[in-house]
Structure 1
């Protein structure tokens, strides 16, 4: 593997709307990010990913962009964005932005012009089709529920939106549109950002002509994923984009790629892949159901381990995955992967240990480093997320009571990760002096950064140790480039693997149980690099891991 500038970095995702509000309007802003750069530097962050801050009506929290060249006034100004880029560079960190080009906002100039003349130049920037017998062109269901087609006023024309109806899909078959997108990408890279996280990109290739699919629910519609699975040729488009943009700037790119064909992994993230990396969603999608959230299967510790290991082995010798336990589209990792009733500082540190040292680029989502948890929402009226509201309706339609449906969606709601960052135990967790746009998790009095910075044994300080260990000179080569070897897979609720370098083997091991577990090491001559407890009980090669204990051990080769 050719070494790249980003391989040994640690990345951090900021959801700007909920990070830090400095002008007391209840919404986070660019100034708030600038003010917290020193904090991120102290934590050990190298690469910062910003969720969208472009102009947007916020139908899908900024993933519906009305102007790719302007900063939404709610977040700040372009001058502040330039300052953020400069201040990030001063601290030897790099900034990447969200690239949302499967769709734009229906308020974008292009779409407004398309509505005025659907058969004209801008009409071809989108998928505008005639209906069939007074119905939509086919029976695709939007990812957010309902038909993926929206009728244009009282005409027989419809436009495609795989996501919200205010997010019309861009027609990537149109080379003029593609050139417009590449021009915009290069404009941002020339401004000084280091790359992009690329949103929902697998969806850009459609199956044309559109046709109906076998319905998968009682509504007569079928998931848009059926078309994604059938589509051919997305890699040609992605490689064209890479050659026209990213490659010229040695930019870092990480793709949000779902349902890619197994044989295509090298084409996505290999030495000549279209992206630098892509997120590992193997654990994220475990247990999902086409029927809806009400039919999801809860992930177990062994499921989580097996999913992680499958991804590691699949990517071995091909490229770097980007590893996460949560992001802005998922519930909090500690609430999702740690069994109910077992969440504690120790179990949070254990989960952090076993995911963070996997081969690949570790991403931390804001608040993860202090162990932020799911929110005890009290009413569906407190929910903002459009996916959650849709799935609430789906559960009700399946006969669940309002109380049952609400309980189901709260477990998986994206709003769990979107509530404000818990900076301190003051008003609104130190996020704002105004009324926050989304409720603060009421546990902020006991769980906040200020408190954890003062406690040496906190989750925050443990994350600092993990980051320092991965980036430190002593073991960087092994922890960044070393081989991955799973071990003790026959044991229940144990997650363990080696990272193997030229002159050392590092064993990462976590007990995913509340009860102690005994293990026999391959050797008895080892050094403890990190432990989420004070002691490690051992006799010779035999060690006893307490409930949710995690250790990182070094063996000489």
Structure 2
């Protein structure tokens, strides 16, 4: 494998709206991020991925972009962004932005011109079709519910939106659209950006010609993912984007890739892949149902273990996964993967350690390093997320009471990850001097940065040690490039695997509150990481305390 600059890095996702507010308007901003660069450097992270900060009406929290060349005033100015890139580089950190090019905002000038003249040049920038007998062109359901088709006022035409109706899909079949996208990508990379996280990218290729499919709910619609399963040729677009933009800049790119075909893995993240890496979503999609969140199956420790190992086996050494336990689109990982009522500090460390030591690029999400948890909703009126509101409606239609529906969506809501970062035990968790745009999690007095950076046994310090271990010259080659080999797979609620390279490490975690014994494959030489006070080891027989996590040298 040709070694690249990003292989040994640790990444950290910032949700700017909720990170730190510097001017008291209740919304996080770029100057708030600049203020915390030294904090992030101290933690040890190298790549900072910012969720969208472009000009946007925020129908989908910035993933509806109205101007790809400007910063939304809520977050600051282009001068602020240039200063952030510069000051991050001074600290040997790279800034990565979101690349959202499956769709733009309906307030983007391209779409405004398309609506004014659907048959003209800009009408071809989107998927615009005639209604037939008053019916939409197809029966596809959007990711946020309801039809993917919405009317263009004053016409008999509709436009396609895979997501929110304010997010019209761009027509990648049109070379002029692709040229505009590549121009913008290179403009940002020339500014010194380290790369991009690429949003919803599989969706850029549609199955043509458009047709309807068998409905999968009583609404007569089918999931848009059914259409995607019939689409072929996305690689032509992605390879062109790689060669025109990413390769010349040696940029780091990580794809939000769902539904790729198994045989395409090498094409996506191999030696000459479209992207540097792609996220492992095996764990996050487990148990989800086409019917909705109300029908979702909770993930168990055994499920989590097998999801991780299946993803690792699939990739092998073909490329690098980007490993997560949470992001802006998921609930808090510790609340999702750790059984209810058992979300202790030791359990949080165990989950973090098992994920961090997997082969691939570790991604932390803001607040993960202090073990932030799901929030508490007392009413659906406190929910901001459009996906949660849609799922609440779906649960009500399935016969659940308002109280039951709120309980269902509370567990999975994206707002859980979007509550303000908990910096201190002071008002609003130190996030803002104003009124926060989203309610702060009530547990901020118990879970906050100020407390944890002063305690050697904190979740923060545990993550810091993991990052230091990954950078340590003695172990770096093994942790970054070594193979992963599962062991003790038959032991219930024990997750263990080797990382093999110039040295051999055994990573093991007891994924339950009760202690249990295990026979290790061999006798360890030393303990590199331990989330508990002691290690109960007799030759190769080990007694793991509840939630104990260890990195052992073999």
TM-score calculated relative to the size of structure 1: 0.99
Q: CA RMSD in A?
A: 0.6
Confirm whether residue 157 of structure 1 aligns to residue 175 of structure 2. Answer: no
Secondary structure at the residue paired with 2:354? helix
Distance 2:296 2:325 in 1: 18
1:133 — aligned with what? 133
What displacement does 1:471 show?
Answer: 1.1
What displacement does 1:522 show?
Answer: 2.3
1:424 — aligned with what? 424
Call closer, same or farther: CA 1:151–1:525 in 2, change over 3 Å.
Answer: closer
Distance 1:227 1:234 in 2: 13
2:95 — aligned with what? 95
2:479 — aligned with what? 479
1:532 — aligned with what? 531
1:513 — aligned with what? 512
What displacement does 1:524 show?
Answer: 2.1
Q: What's the CA shift string for 1:55-93, capped at 9, x where partnerless?
A: 000000000000000000000000010000100000011
Confirm whether residue 193 of structure 1 aligns to residue 183 of structure 2. Answer: no
1:467 — aligned with what? 467
What displacement does 1:33 show?
Answer: 0.3
Q: What's the CA shift string for 1:160-187, capped at 9, x where partnerless?
A: 0000000000000000110000000000
Distance 1:549 1:363 in 2: 22
What displacement does 1:494 show?
Answer: 0.5
Distance 1:198 1:212 in 2: 28
Taking the TM superposition and a 5 Å limit, the aligned residue runs for 1:353-364 are 353-364=353-364
Secondary structure at the residue paired with 1:484? strand
Q: What's the CA shift string for 1:301-340, capped at 9, x where partnerless?
A: 0000000000111101210000000000000000000011
Distance 1:303 1:345 in 2: 22
2:549 — aligned with what? 550
Distance 1:102 1:542 in 2: 53
Secondary structure at the residue paired with 1:349? helix
What displacement does 1:525 show?
Answer: 4.3
| Matched-pair contact (CA < 8 Å) for 2:524–2:552 | no
Confirm whether residue 61 of structure 1 aligns to residue 61 of structure 2. Answer: yes
2:348 — aligned with what? 348
2:222 — aligned with what? 222
What displacement does 1:209 show?
Answer: 1.7
Secondary structure at the residue paired with 1:245? helix
What displacement does 1:534 show?
Answer: 1.3
Distance 2:227 2:2 in 1: 35
| Matched-pair contact (CA < 8 Å) for 2:496–2:509 | yes
Distance 1:127 1:490 in 2: 50
1:299 — aligned with what? 299
Distance 2:52 2:483 in 1: 35
What displacement does 1:523 show?
Answer: 2.2
1:20 — aligned with what? 20
Distance 1:26 1:453 in 2: 25
Distance 2:540 2:209 in 1: 64
Q: What's the CA shift string for 1:176-230, capped at 9, x where partnerless?
A: 1100000000000001101000000000001122111100111001111011111
1:8 — aligned with what? 8
Q: Which runs of 5+ in 2 are unaligned?
A: none
Taking the TM superposition and a 5 Å limit, the aligned residue runs for 1:430-445 are 430-445=430-445
